[in-house]
Amino acid sequence: MKLWTLPFFCAACAFAIQPNALLTSGKTAYVNGTTSTYLTDGSLINWKYVDTKDVAVEVGEGPSKIFLAWELHAAGCVDWGNFAAGCPHTQTSLTDFAILTSGNSTTGVDGDWDTAYVVTNNQVLARGVAIDFEGKSWVRFVSQENTGSFLEIEAFDISEGQNDTWFFMGTSISSMGIKQQDTDTTATTAKLIHEQFPNFTPAMLRGGVSCVNTTDIVNHLSEYLEAVGNVNFWAIEMGTNDGWGGGTWNLATYVQNLQTIIDSAKARGISIVLARTLATDSSRAGWQVAPEFLAAEDSLVEVNGLYKGPDFYTFFKEHPEYLASDGVHPNAETGGGAQMHRLWAEALAPIYADTTSALYKNRSLGKASGQSLVKVLFRDGAVEIQTPGGEKSKSFDVHGRVIRQVK
């Protein structure tokens, strides 16, 4: 039975994304006794960070609860965390700090302050937390030991519930494409969604890590869940490093790792949007993503009831001019980053347009135990992805051709 045929008691509303208004856009940040507009302008251009141990923003009165998100800068690095075994990355220096709130400050320093949240051993450049805000009007980051390089601070009104928060998990393709560079004035995915759906202002946390593959992510899954297990959506771009060189030797591991990530996310109530791996420009890169990686991703979307992300493969196969000289990475200089933001926004738009989105209908599929929803088998030269009951499965050969499908 379709949801819209039910008697009206707002069954669809249980699945609708709740708008979480952005409260800090254009607000003045108070840093070390001075003011800054850099930190609330919605831009992540690398040179405009502010180094401080103490920064405050006047959010304003009204919300009883907010989702507070921040983006940090690490010298010479746009990678979310140091989670790739193949290449180490500079980590943020802001590891330990407190988030304070006040209802009577006038300068971001004076007045009475309460501790709303304490962060210890932070390892990542972008994350967010939900904090109580009843009777408050200011937020403040204070560290006794660490100086943080802040790029952006955003607060969202979640008084009526939080479900418009996004983490963009990815490789260097995302760290270079989704993260804005010095010459890039691209509208982010969140801004493009807001332009099409003015009531919505998604909280967008960027999580690209150079060299990372799905084995690295599974090995560090506890760190991912610790940092961003509290958001509602994981938008995933993976596959390039797992399938590097164009072979299929890592295919079964890739499929099983993705399933582990999906199951772990669903166990937290997180919905997954899975993109198709980007095509390379094989004339420059010297290799192309094997088609069975794409078939595996399509199968995982199907058997897990996920929403399809952007088809990066087809777009960049048809438009290699948006890739850098290595034939692999979109970036600001080529305009490839802007295309990634656009493709993500186009893929996510139906979620905002359809209040009965399959993403929300499938949120309950996760098991608290983390037990896998599907079986992943590699036998007789084929990979098979099958639901536990066997009622839905798909097998594909080493050329990416579907050889058996049961629904």
CA–CA dist 366, 194 (Å, integer): 29
pLDDT at 368: 33
Q: Are residues 322 and 196 in the same domain?
A: yes
Which residues have C-beta within 8 Å of that of residue 36, sequence separation ≥ 6? 28, 29, 30, 50
Q: Are residues 31 and 170 in the same domain?
A: no
Q: Are residues 323 and 285 in the same domain?
A: yes
CA-derived radius of gyration, the chain = 22
Q: What is the pLDDT of residues 242-293, one digit of tens each?
A: 999 999 889 989 998 999 999 999 999 999 999 999 999 999 999 999 988 9
Q: Are residues 252 and 292 in the same domain?
A: yes
pLDDT at 76: 63
DSSP string, 364-406: GG--TT---SSEEEEETTEEEEE-TTSSSEEEEETTS-EEEEE
CA–CA dist 190, 210 (Å, integer): 22
Residue ranges of the chain with per-residue pLDDT less than 70: 1-16, 46, 75-77, 180-186, 354-407
Which of 160, 178, 211 is the last residue before a domain boundary? 160
Closest CA to 50 of 182, 179, 151: 151
The number of folded domains in the chain is 2
Check residue 140 and give left, alpha or beta (phi > 0: left; psi -120 to 50: alpha).
Answer: beta
> Which residue range(s) make up the domain with 65?
20-160
pLDDT at 181: 55
Here the CATH number for the domain that contains residue 270 is 3.40.50.1110
pLDDT at 383: 62
Whether residue 7 is contained in a domain is answered as no
Which residues have C-beta within 8 Å of that of residue 295, sequence separation ≥ 6? 394, 396, 400, 401, 402
54 forms beta bridges with 142
Q: Are residues 186 and 217 in the same domain?
A: yes
Which of 113, 131, 160 is the last residue before a domain boundary? 160
Here the CATH number for the domain that contains residue 61 is 2.60.120.260
Q: Are residues 110 and 140 in the same domain?
A: yes
pLDDT at 6: 23
Whether residue 59 is contained in a domain is answered as yes
pLDDT at 187: 84
- End-to-end alpha carbon distance in the chain: 19
pLDDT at 33: 73
CA–CA dist 356, 233 (Å, integer): 16
pLDDT at 89: 76
Residue 241 amino acid letter: N
pLDDT at 310: 96
Q: Are residues 326 and 394 in the same domain?
A: yes
Whether residue 12 is contained in a domain is answered as no
Q: Are residues 126 and 154 in the same domain?
A: yes
Q: Are residues 193 and 66 in the same domain?
A: no
pLDDT at 384: 66
